[in-house]
Structure 1
Amino acid sequence: MTKSIALSLVLAASLGLAACSGGTAENSANNAANSAENASNAADNAMNAALNAADNAANAASNATNNAANAM
């Protein structure tokens, strides 16, 4: 959901800037597509970072449990 909203905002902003720049339509379309791809990649990277953080927290909890069991 947030990914599609981010892509929509990036696309709208890119098209708005392209309309004001006086560049060619093809360049504007390419810039908009590249911006949308960059936003998508940023969203994917953020999701991966969140998943990695969750995995790290689970590993830390498991390590703490193992350490406590080994201490007995």
Structure 2
Amino acid sequence: MKKSTLAAVGLAAALGLAACSDQTQQSMANDADNAAADANATMREAGSDVDAAFESAERSTENAADATGRALERAGDATANAADRAADATGNALVSAGNTIRD
């Protein structure tokens, strides 16, 4: 082959590779942008999921605290009622004992 033909073929190959390289670079840049966008979307969704989990845990904790408060209130009421009945029974027993002594 002549040197000029070889140079022309080499120049054409180099230009083809250069053009291909730009396309490849653009494609890689687009892929990187898409991957970054996907990663950002995934992180936002993960953040939303974590927020939702904390809100659910907070509601559960509040519900448990409310239930505990109601149970303690019922227990306090029951204790107060039992103490009232015991006081009444003691008072009645003392009145009965006093009546027995007096008679």
Shorter-chain TM-score tier: 0.5 to 0.7
The answer on 1:36 being equivalent to 2:43 is no
Describe how 1:1-40 pairs up with structure 2 within 5 A: 24-40=7-23
TM-score (norm 2): 0.47
> Whose helix proportion is higher, 1 or 2?
2
Structure 1 stretches of 4+ moved >2 Å: none
Structure 1: runs of 5+ lacking an equivalent: 1-21
The answer on 1:65 being equivalent to 2:61 is no
Percent pairwise identity: 20
Higher relative contact order (CA 8 A, sep 6+): 1
Structure 2: runs of 5+ lacking an equivalent: 56-103
- Indicate which of 46, 51, 54 corresponds to 2:29: 46
> Which structure: larger Rg?
2
Superposed CA RMSD in Å reads 1.4
Aligned length: 51
TM-score (norm 1): 0.67
SS in 2 for 1:24: helix
